[in-house]
Amino acid sequence: MAEHPTHRLDRRRLLAGLGALPLAAAAGRAFAQEAQGQPLLDDPALPEPAGERMGWAIVGLGTFAVGQVIPHFQEAHHSRIAAFVSGNADKARTVGNAYGVSRFYDYASYDRIADDPEIACVYICLPVGLHAEYTIRALQAGKHVLCEKPMASTVAECEAMVAAARAANRQLGVAYRVHFEPTNIEALRRIEAGELGALRYVQCDHGFDANPEYPPHRWRLDKELGGGGSMYDIGIYGLNTSLMMLDGDPVEVSANYAYPRDDPRFAEVEGGLDWRLRMASGLGVQGSSSYCWKPYVSRQRYFGAEGSIEMQPATTYDENELLLLPGNGPAHVVGTDRPTRQFAAQVDGFSQAARANRPHRTPGEMGLRDIRLIAAMYESADKDGQAIRL
């Protein structure tokens, strides 16, 4: 197609015009406006100055802490990393150099955090079997604690953690990051707004294939460190996320083991569980959890009288998706903010709760509730699926 004459670039005219601009501007003839400063409007949600943010100690520098938690502190507005606690001094210094952290503790000197005014909050990123001890010691040191999920290995440990927080007058939260993840927040908003009508059924499936040669998987297959198996580790996402979307409490639970019982990986922990909750409203929640699925599965489904939501993946670090299936129109994907925002939002939410000394969105009592439910699931599975009243 021929170029329109008025679209041609006349180099001589362009250069002549540019050359004339300074002179014209100086003469006050080229521009009628001058740049002027304007005040900030409303609340621009600016980050706090670094020195005013709540200081955090990260306890445990494993794959999750180094790969997810620590990098996303860079996006936080009210939180900063003040110290690392690790049994590997070289690793702590290496990570510290990368993120400008120069205060280090090991597990022998852990209790000395009580004397460190730079540390207000502690994030427990240790294996499950160590959660109770290091959470309670941090609370006794006068620090607020956010503990990774699951909260602990047993109901008794969770109860002791909650009691320690109350005795110390400090906040205890469980790191259920999905409550801060934009895609799940949008699903909750639509459910609460009634877009699906009355919820009729919820389904959730979460699992992966555990590799005992891979260090981040190896400790999960150890009863003492991993707590109890797939339901503690990956299935708890489906349990907690489903209850996040619902009103009321479960009144009954049942479950069956669902994994090859002769698989040597599962000599100490369960490798899979199929479970069901019955809510007080009569609504059913059906879930499954596994350490022997390929590929990785993270799926939530909410079925309502007027529409449904499917999320797959649903609870990952960085690629969740919400598919809305309205009852009177085509299915479509709903866009939201970046899933990775969940990490900064979670620590900032806890920092603000700790500063005001008020309960966090996902408090220790929520973690205790979930471990009680998981314990009831195992009781049911041990009794061949017998329903357990709660």
Residues marked as catalytic: 149, 237
Question: Which residues contact residue 383 at a Cβ distance below 8 angstroms, ignoring those fewer than 6 apart?
Answer: none
Half-sphere exposure of 300 (CA within 13 A, CB side): 28
CA geometry: angle 281, 149, 300, nearest 5 deg: 45
What does residue 79 show for φ and ψ, rounded to 5 degrees?
-135, 145
Shortest CA distance to 195 belongs to which of 327, 332, 331, 330? 327
Classify the C-alpha dihedral 173-357-349-369 as positive or negative: positive
Q: Are 299 and 204 in contact (CB under 8 A)?
A: yes
The Cα 195–Cα 177 span in angstroms is 24
Question: Which residues contact residue 354 at a Cβ distance below 8 angstroms, ignoring those fewer than 6 apart?
Answer: 54, 120, 121, 144, 170, 171, 360
The Cα 8–Cα 11 span in angstroms is 9
- Kindly list the strands in the beta sheet with 144-148, ordered across the sheet, starting from the edge strand earlier in the chain: 104-105, 79-85, 54-59, 121-124, 144-148, 172-175
Angle between helices 236-244 and 182-192 (to 10 degrees): 40
In the block, tokens 């490798």 appear at 271
- Indicate the residue type of 73: F
